[in-house]
Amino acid sequence: MHQYTNTHILITGASGQVGSEIRELSRAYPGFQFTFTDVGELDLTKEQAIRDYFAAHAFDYCINCAAYTAVDRAESEPDAARLVNVDAVRWLAEACARQGIPLIHYSTDYVYHNQQNTPFREEDPTTPQSVYARTKLAGEQAAREAHPQTLILRTSWVYSSFGHNFVKTMLRLGREREELKVVFDQVGTPTYARGLARATLEIIRKVETGEVGGDKLQGVYHYSDEGVCSWYDFALAIFELAGIECKVTPIETKDFPTAAARPPYSVLNKGKIKAVFGVETGHWRAGLREMLARLNG
């Protein structure tokens, strides 16, 4: 097992949830050199900007944390969603291919949207129903066509102490209101972005130390926390662990209409990423507890 030094990793979309967590974790990886970019340093919606940036810098890996994630707004802004989730991803993959470096890219459980009620495996058919989900799937395909050494990590219900997410929305609303209505017929797994960020860096570390072959850095893998819950269950847990008194009433999706359709069930099977990369996953309640402690710390 050789020691890795000065492995240079480019992080795009670095101010988002996962990018911010990678920045927090970066001190624990002294063998990695990180370049954190967001739209100010590298505008992924401009192909020439990507070409110029890669021509001026040399990297060993690229982790793309940039995405258009406003699920409902995407229905009325399909071109904006496609530009970030498809075109930018293709251009980034092409740049990585020219430099001969792996691309790690995040995708979503929302690409699975059917009546299945057992955890989805990577080879299960995709049936995206919303603009967001369709553009995320198209982005996966564009990246893999442009650059075979693209690793897709499909994840679910991501939250963090950074950025906007369900947990922070519930904390705010729970303190403002006496009662909230939350859907109980959408089931999945909340995923703490810090765990996802750590798993990503561990995958690179294992490739760099020779524990895992670099040829494994391609294709689709699932990563989420363990366990299963509805948004209703998730809200209850947030209030319980945060010590907030707020009544939560379960409602059906049809009673809470949204612009974009959400899958009724999108739990992910993580067997593949555990077997190939030895990635460890914890229960979603443990992740939530850690995130709330960080917010309060």
- Residue 111: its pLDDT value, please? 98
- Residue 2: its pLDDT value, please? 57
Judging by beta carbons within 10 Å of its beta carbon (0-12, 13-18, 19+), is residue 171 exposed, middle or buried?
Answer: middle
**Tokens of residue 163, six digits:** 């950025």
- Residue 1: its pLDDT value, please? 44
The set of catalytic residues is: 132
The H-assigned helical ranges of 216-262 are 231-242
CA atoms of 264 and 257, how far apart (whole Å): 14
User: What is the torsional sign of CA 245, 251, 253, 259?
Assistant: negative
Do 206 and 28 touch, CB atoms closer than 8 A? Answer: no
CB count, 10 Å around CB of 2? 7
Per residue of the chain (297 residues), what is the pLDDT tens digit? 456 779 999 999 999 999 999 999 999 999 999 999 999 999 999 999 999 999 999 999 999 999 999 999 999 999 999 999 999 999 999 999 999 999 999 999 999 999 999 999 999 999 999 999 999 999 999 999 999 999 999 999 999 999 999 999 999 999 999 999 999 999 999 999 999 999 999 999 999 999 999 999 999 999 999 999 999 999 999 999 999 999 999 999 999 999 999 999 999 999 999 999 999 999 999 999 999 999 987
Separation of first and last alpha carbons in the chain: 37
**Domains (range + CATH), the chain:** 7-164+190-226+266-282 (3.40.50.720)
Pairing of strands 187-188, 229-230: antiparallel
CA atoms of 145 and 66, how far apart (whole Å): 19
Beta bridge partners of 104: 63, 151
Rounded to 10 degrees, the C-alpha dihedral 125/72/159/138 comes to 40
CA atoms of 214 and 98, how far apart (whole Å): 17
- Residue 246: its pLDDT value, please? 98
**Tokens of residue 230, six digits:** 């509805």
The H-assigned helical ranges of 100-230 are 131-146, 166-176, 193-208
Judging by beta carbons within 10 Å of its beta carbon (0-12, 13-18, 19+), is residue 197 exposed, middle or buried?
Answer: buried
**Tokens of residue 143, six digits:** 């990246």
